[in-house]
């Protein structure tokens, strides 16, 4: 499509959209109604009908109007805050209005309305920039990975400038290209012109197309070039006095840059001396600071020494980026800080009372934490990897392709062994070539680009990510191999000499993978997939042109390559990007279609940030592929579950009016966060953990016969010590009977449960579940009068053989197929059925837990695809009601629940690696009630052991 035709199409889409917005029933947007409105627009401008692709207009409007947006949730504290944002303040806000109108050219009206609705409360929780006196507000906005956080804070910046904030600083990543990318986006969204070193050499772009009035043109101190960060030359020339127009600084999280900026603020902007400390501070210009990727580098990872009252040492020396960020904030008497992240784990571990003389308070989000909801077209971990169910993960998209040919079976050799060193030579059977899986991934990218071309998406960017090593020397070798492979395909297809094997490989991949995947997804997810199909002849005819457009680039700290998407607008950049940390965090890969990903960090926040394939894929989701290892798929499953559990807990606390400090204390003891960076958890050699309000279940088991027999004996001793059970317990749930096949004991002394846990031997890879640590925790709570009275459930109902635990007490064993071929353990996906956890609740308690779950429910497509409220209580609500009680339901913090299961070894499959005639595999889960005691147990780990297990901290 020519640029003129595309411009006409966009105008028609915008005008028809405006007409559809005025419809009383916006949900009844049909192709017929759209056609009627197109006719109406064309009667006003008949010339636009010449060559107009009406079908493309209709498809775009159906996509926009089929979108639904979830609801944000917020924890906040109004201590010292004065409400200020009312409708009259927004009446003449030109920065926001022009940004809104500019967005409406490209986004659904629903998406723009949602952005307006979402950013208003965030701004309102900051302080009025016109308010006199000293004030300081700190908040955190948590989005989903690749979900549009930059667009959110761009809107917030526009509104903050409209409200009267004068100094706007954006901390934008650790690398020049990420800083430059952020500057370019704000050039379009806020400034309205291209920033260049020469202030006279600026070109109006973005929002200036809506309102380019020089009277509101913001000032800039940094520019979009790779070297455009705040530098000595700028610092010498730049002087700021109180004036109407705001100033924008987009700077790296770099010690030298931030020191330079701090020095400039104190020497050229500060207008008074603090009478108590002598520090130079700014009182006449309010500061608004955005911290992008706030969990990265900004968190103080130095060990904090606390006194006997739990207060931090005021002379503590924070780490560099944290220290300088806080000093910049502390240099303004009026300041607002908002961190943005998709992985808030590290931020929650900031000490909520951390404060030093020079730096002021730490960056804990004491004022508010906002959980952003995603729109329905967002593709996140839950959609890619599915949700945890009884038989594994349910509902994942068929886009993941597991690879196992990148290293030898022992993991020590081959093309890219997991623990390779700097200087490693990637070889396959001694040859300088790629493994078959990466060759296939490249072929998949070629096919995806070709099909997108046929779908009319040739003008869009298409990217492939190759992330297999953090070492630049190894990246260089991989770049050479990938470049050679692409040149080989290009020569064969363009010259038509020896091309038959290349074409045959592409056609084979199309027939066995692309055709069935597109068909399956069009049927299962018609709202997410453009179902256009093409014959092989059509695809083959585009291959030569497609491969000719593909470039191979290396993106790291030493490479000169850059992802210059802006320079390819209208033509679409087609790029295979090979890199490491730069590609792992923050840097957006436009049109990411195929990912080849082997990095094996086991830290939750690091892995989530590396998931660049999450995001929006309009019209080509079915063409996307993720090539990765089985282990990483397993870890991403853990991440999806852990993130959802934290968000559910957040929803419950938000519904009850809790503050960020209360949530921080809750999350700091969450055992799932054992696998975030130990350094970010502020502990040199140990972690203090609480299991209150948690469900822990074993999913990894020893294989050795003696250990299996020991665990079975421990379970039999426990069951034999108990009295007469309730057999096949029956419970009423919402008027319906639910029956468990098995046995239930109530009023079991805690000492019996502790004895079982001490005798049971958990596997080191049973994430979160350490039987010795659990027994210590229970004993600690017993001293507080909690966890003294237990319910024990022995649950069967599987299709395996019977396992006897004592005379007259036998259960049918569960079938749990081995998940993954591990050399050291038998692993399963999920042990419990979700309904099991509520077995101890009577009908009244179950109903109250359901009511609490529904009251806290916030529709979020990234979490709940249908948006429908749940019909059963979630785990956090069950544990909350058990511990704290509810309407007509007494609190029972004394009652924990132990679940025991037997897994049939004969049904585990050969991958389980269990010995012949193995005894039943005993598994257990523990559901702890919520508690206000705050009691914790110490988990000891040294840095060497941590890094051996989880990898180095970022």
User: Of the candidates 283, 68, 50, which has an alpha carbon nearest to the alpha carbon of residue 166?
Assistant: 283
Tell me what the mean pLDDT of segment 572-590 comes to: 73
Residue percentage of the chain with pLDDT more than 90: 45
- Local confidence band at 587 (pLDDT 50, 70, 90 cut-offs): low
Note the pLDDT of residue 134: 94
pLDDT of 344 higher than 80: no
458-471: per-residue pLDDT in tens? 888 899 989 888 88
347 compared with 814, residue with greater pLDDT: 814
Note the pLDDT of residue 524: 72
Note the pLDDT of residue 650: 80
Cross-strand pairs, 401: 627
Give the number of other Cβ atoms within 10 Å of residue 216's Cβ.
Answer: 16
Note the pLDDT of residue 612: 59
Rounded to the nearest angstrom, the gap between the alpha carbon of residue 247 and the centroid of all alpha carbons in its chain is: 31
Specify whether the backbone of 457 is left (phi greater than 0), alpha (psi in -120 to 50) or beta. Answer: alpha
Note the pLDDT of residue 788: 96
Note the pLDDT of residue 307: 42
Note the pLDDT of residue 291: 92
Note the pLDDT of residue 655: 78
- Local confidence band at 592 (pLDDT 50, 70, 90 cut-offs): confident
Q: How far apart are CA 212 and CA 218, in angstroms?
A: 11
Note the pLDDT of residue 951: 43
CA distances from 954 to 149, 295, 601, 895 (A): 22, 11, 10, 40
Cross-strand pairs, 749: 789
pLDDT of 317 higher than 70: no
439-490: per-residue pLDDT in tens? 999 999 999 999 999 988 888 889 998 988 888 899 999 999 999 999 999 9
Residue percentage of the chain with pLDDT more than 70: 81
Note the pLDDT of residue 531: 58
Percentages of the chain per state (helix, strand, coil), in multiples of 5: 40, 20, 40
- Local confidence band at 690 (pLDDT 50, 70, 90 cut-offs): confident
Tell me what the mean pLDDT of segment 768-795 comes to: 92
3 state SS of 611: coil
Tell me what the mean pLDDT of segment 669-692 comes to: 49
Note the pLDDT of residue 944: 37
Tokens 């990894």 correspond to 700
Average pLDDT, the chain: 83
| CB contact set of 461 (below 8 Å; sequence gap of 6+) | 565, 568, 572, 573, 574, 575, 590, 591
Note the pLDDT of residue 636: 73
3 state SS of 418: coil
Q: How far apart are CA 292 and CA 380, in angstroms?
A: 20
846-899: per-residue pLDDT in tens? 999 999 988 888 766 666 655 678 889 988 899 999 999 998 999 999 999 999
Note the pLDDT of residue 681: 42
Note the pLDDT of residue 502: 95
| CB contact set of 873 (below 8 Å; sequence gap of 6+) | 838, 846, 849, 850, 852, 853, 881
| CB contact set of 106 (below 8 Å; sequence gap of 6+) | none
Tell me what the mean pLDDT of segment 136-162 comes to: 88
Note the pLDDT of residue 942: 37
- Local confidence band at 353 (pLDDT 50, 70, 90 cut-offs): low
Give the number of other Cβ atoms within 10 Å of residue 213's Cβ.
Answer: 10
Long-range contacts formed by 193-200: CB under 8 A, 24+ apart: 193/217, 194/224, 195/220, 195/222, 195/223, 195/224, 195/228, 196/223, 196/224, 196/225, 197/223, 197/225, 197/228
CA distances from 768 to 279, 458, 671, 694, 777 (A): 47, 47, 6, 10, 13
Q: How far apart are CA 574 and CA 571, in angstroms?
A: 9
pLDDT of 305 higher than 50: no
Q: How far apart are CA 641 and CA 834, in angstroms?
A: 13
- Local confidence band at 390 (pLDDT 50, 70, 90 cut-offs): low
Note the pLDDT of residue 110: 78
Cβ-count burial 146-177 (b if 16+ within 10 Å, e if not): bbbbbbbbbbbbbbbbbbebbbbbbbbbbbbb
Give the number of other Cβ atoms within 10 Å of residue 330's Cβ.
Answer: 21
3 state SS of 59: helix
Burial class (CB in 10 A: 0-12, 13-18, 19+), 262: middle
Cross-strand pairs, 272: 281
Q: Of the segments 298-307, 457-466, 485-494, 556-565, which one has the largest average pLDDT value?
A: 485-494
pLDDT of 683 higher than 50: no
pLDDT of 562 higher than 70: no
684 compared with 101, residue with greater pLDDT: 101
Asked if residue 147 lies in contact with residue 114, where contact means CB atoms within 8 angstroms, the answer is no
Give the predicted TM-score (pTM) of the model. Answer: 0.71
Q: How far apart are CA 399 and CA 611, in angstroms?
A: 14
815 compared with 202, residue with greater pLDDT: 815
The DSSP output letter for 87 is G
Long-range contacts formed by 725-728: CB under 8 A, 24+ apart: 725/794, 725/809
402-443: per-residue pLDDT in tens? 999 999 888 889 999 988 889 999 999 999 999 999 999 999
**Structure-token pair, residue 287:** 């500061």
Tokens 């800080």 correspond to 337
Dihedrals phi, psi of 464, to nearest 5 degrees: -125, 135
**Structure-token pair, residue 83:** 């409400």
Regarding beta strands 730-733 and 736-739, do their DSSP bridges make them parallel or antiparallel, or are they unpaired? antiparallel
Which spans in 22-108 are helix H?
A: 31-44, 54-65, 94-104
User: Longest C-alpha distance within the chain, in Å?
Assistant: 90
Q: How far apart are CA 819 and CA 834, in angstroms?
A: 19
3 state SS of 257: helix
pLDDT of 793 higher than 80: yes
Asked if residue 220 lies in contact with residue 140, where contact means CB atoms within 8 angstroms, the answer is no
Q: How far apart are CA 629 and CA 596, in angstroms?
A: 9
155-194: per-residue pLDDT in tens? 999 999 999 999 999 999 777 878 998 999 999 999 999 9
Asked if residue 687 lies in contact with residue 939, where contact means CB atoms within 8 angstroms, the answer is yes
Q: How far apart are CA 288 and CA 166, in angstroms?
A: 8
**Structure-token pair, residue 120:** 């208003």
**Structure-token pair, residue 665:** 């204390």
910-954: per-residue pLDDT in tens? 889 999 999 999 999 999 998 887 777 765 543 333 344 444 433
CA distances from 203 to 185, 194, 198, 787 (A): 14, 5, 11, 68
236-271: per-residue pLDDT in tens? 777 676 667 899 999 999 899 999 999 999 988 999
CA distances from 465 to 112, 299, 382, 562, 582 (A): 30, 28, 21, 14, 11
pLDDT of 348 higher than 60: no
Note the pLDDT of residue 684: 35
538-547: per-residue pLDDT in tens? 999 999 999 9
Give the number of other Cβ atoms within 10 Å of residue 293's Cβ.
Answer: 22
Which spans in 512-588 are helix H?
A: 515-524, 536-549, 581-584
Note the pLDDT of residue 685: 41
Dihedrals phi, psi of 292, to nearest 5 degrees: -75, 145
Give the number of other Cβ atoms within 10 Å of residue 308's Cβ.
Answer: 5
Q: Residue count of the chain, please give it.
A: 954
**CA-CA-CA-CA dihedral for 488, 490, 493, 497, to nearest 10:** -50
Tokens 């039943």 correspond to 920
608-650: per-residue pLDDT in tens? 555 556 677 777 889 999 998 887 777 777 667 766 777 777 8
């Amino acid at each position: 499509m020519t640029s003129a035709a595309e411009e006409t199409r966009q105008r028609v889409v915008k005008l028809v959209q405006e007409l559809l917005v005025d419809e009383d029933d916006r949900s009844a947007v049909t192709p017929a109604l759209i056609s009627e409105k197109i006719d109406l627009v064309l009667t006003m401008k008949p010339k636009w009908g010449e060559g107009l692709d009406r079908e493309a207009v209709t498809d775009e409007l159906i996509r926009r109007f089929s979108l639904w947006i979830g609801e944000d949730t917020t924890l906040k504290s109004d201590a010292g805050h004065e409400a200020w944002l009312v409708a009259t303040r927004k009446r003449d806000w030109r920065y926001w209005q022009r940004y809104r109108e500019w967005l409406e050219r490209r986004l659904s009206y629903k998406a723009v309305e949602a952005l307006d609705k979402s950013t208003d409360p965030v701004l309102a929780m900051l302080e009025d920039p016109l308010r006199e006196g000293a004030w300081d507000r700190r908040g955190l906005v948590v989005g989903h990975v690749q979900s549009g956080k930059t667009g959110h804070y761009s809107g917030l910046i526009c509104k903050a400038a409209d409200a009267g904030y004068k100094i706007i600083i954006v901390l934008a990543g650790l690398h020049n290209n990420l800083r430059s990318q952020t500057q370019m986006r704000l050039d379009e969204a806020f400034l309205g012109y291209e920033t260049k070193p020469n202030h006279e050499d600026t070109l109006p772009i973005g929002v200036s197309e809506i309102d380019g009035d020089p009277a509101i043109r913001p000032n800039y101190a940094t520019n979009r070039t790779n070297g455009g960060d705040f530098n000595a030359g700028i610092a010498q020339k730049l002087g700021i006095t109180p004036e109407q127009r705001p100033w924008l600084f987009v700077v790296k999280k770099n010690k030298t840059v931030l020191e330079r900026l701090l020095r400039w603020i104190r020497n050229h902007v500060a207008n008074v001396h603090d009478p108590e400390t002598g520090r130079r501070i700014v009182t006449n210009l309010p500061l608004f600071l955005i911290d992008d990727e706030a969990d990265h580098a900004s968190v103080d990872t130095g060990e904090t020494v606390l006194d006997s009252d739990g207060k931090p040492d005021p002379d503590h020396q924070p780490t560099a980026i944290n220290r300088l960020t806080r000093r910049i904030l502390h240099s303004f008497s009026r300041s607002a800080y908002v961190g943005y992240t998709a992985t808030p784990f590290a931020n929650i571990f900031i000490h909520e009372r951390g404060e030093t003389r020079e730096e002021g308070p730490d960056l804990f989000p004491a004022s508010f934490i906002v959980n952003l909801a995603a729109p329905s077209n967002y593709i996140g971990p839950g959609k890619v990897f599915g949700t945890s169910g009884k038989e594994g993960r349910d509902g994942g998209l068929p886009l993941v392709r597991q690879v196992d040919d990148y290293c030898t079976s022992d993991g020590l050799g081959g093309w890219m062994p997991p623990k390779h060193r700097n200087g490693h030579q990637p070889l396959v059977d001694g040859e300088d070539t790629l493994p078959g899986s990466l060759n296939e991934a490249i072929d998949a990218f070629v096919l995806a680009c070709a099909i997108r071309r046929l779908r009319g998406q040739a003008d869009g960017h298409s990217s492939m990510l190759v992330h297999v090593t953090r070492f630049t020397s190894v990246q260089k070798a991989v770049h050479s191999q990938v470049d050679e492979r692409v040149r080989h395909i290009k020569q064969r297809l363009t010259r038509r000499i020896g091309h038959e094997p290349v074409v045959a490989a592409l056609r084979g991949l199309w027939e066995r993978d692309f055709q069935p995947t597109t068909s399956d997804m069009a049927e299962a997810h018609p709202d997410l997939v453009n179902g256009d199909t093409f014959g092989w002849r059509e695809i083959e005819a585009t291959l030569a042109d497609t491969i000719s457009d593909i470039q191979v680039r290396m993106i790291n700290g030493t490479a000169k390559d850059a992802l210059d998407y802006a320079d390819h607008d209208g033509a679409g950049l087609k790029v295979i990007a090979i890199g490491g940390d730069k590609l792992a965090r923050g840097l957006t890969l436009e049109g990411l279609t195929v990912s080849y990903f082997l990095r094996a960090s086991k830290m939750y926040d690091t892995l989530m940030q590396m998931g660049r394939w999450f995001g929006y894929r309009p019209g080509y989701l079915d063409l996307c592929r993720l090539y990765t290892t089985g282990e990483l798929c397993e870890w991403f499953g853990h991440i999806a579950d852990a993130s959802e559990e934290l968000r559910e807990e957040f929803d419950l606390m938000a519904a009850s009016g809790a503050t960020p400090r209360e949530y921080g204390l809750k999350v700091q003891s969450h055992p799932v966060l054992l696998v975030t960076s130990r350094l970010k958890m502020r502990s040199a050699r140990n972690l203090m953990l609480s299991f209150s309000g948690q469900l822990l279940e074993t999913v990894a088991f020893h294989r050795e016969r003696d250990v299996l027999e020991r665990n079975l004996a421990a379970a039999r001793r426990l069951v034999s010590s108990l009295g007469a059970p309730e057999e096949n317990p029956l419970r009423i749930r919402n008027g319906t009977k639910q029956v468990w096949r098995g046995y239930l004991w109530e009023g079991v002394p805690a000492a019996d449960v502790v004895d079982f846990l001490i005798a049971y031997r958990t596997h080191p890879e049973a994430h979160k579940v350490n039987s010795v640590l659990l027994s210590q925790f229970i004993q600690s709570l017993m001293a507080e009068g909690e966890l003294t009275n237990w319910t024990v459930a022995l649950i069967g109902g599987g299709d395996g053989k019977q396992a006897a635990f004592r005379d007259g007490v036998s259960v049918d064993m569960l079938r749990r197929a081995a998940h993954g071929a591990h050399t050291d353990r038998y692993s399963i996906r999920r042990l419990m059925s979700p309904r099991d956890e509520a077995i101890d609740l009577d009908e009244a308690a179950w109903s109250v837990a359901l009511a609490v779950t529904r009251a806290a429910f916030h529709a979020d497509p990234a979490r709940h695809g249908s948006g429908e409220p749940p019909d059963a209580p979630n785990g956090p609500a069950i544990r909350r009601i058990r511990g704290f009680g509810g309407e007509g339901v007494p609190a029972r913090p004394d009652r924990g629940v132990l679940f025991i299961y037997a897994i049939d070894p004969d049904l585990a499959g050969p991958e389980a690696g269990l010995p012949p005639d193995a005894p039943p595999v005993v598994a257990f889960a523990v559901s702890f009630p919520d508690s206000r005691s705050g009691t914790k147990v110490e988990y000891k780990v040294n840095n060497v052991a941590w890094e051996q297990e989880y990898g180095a901290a970022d």
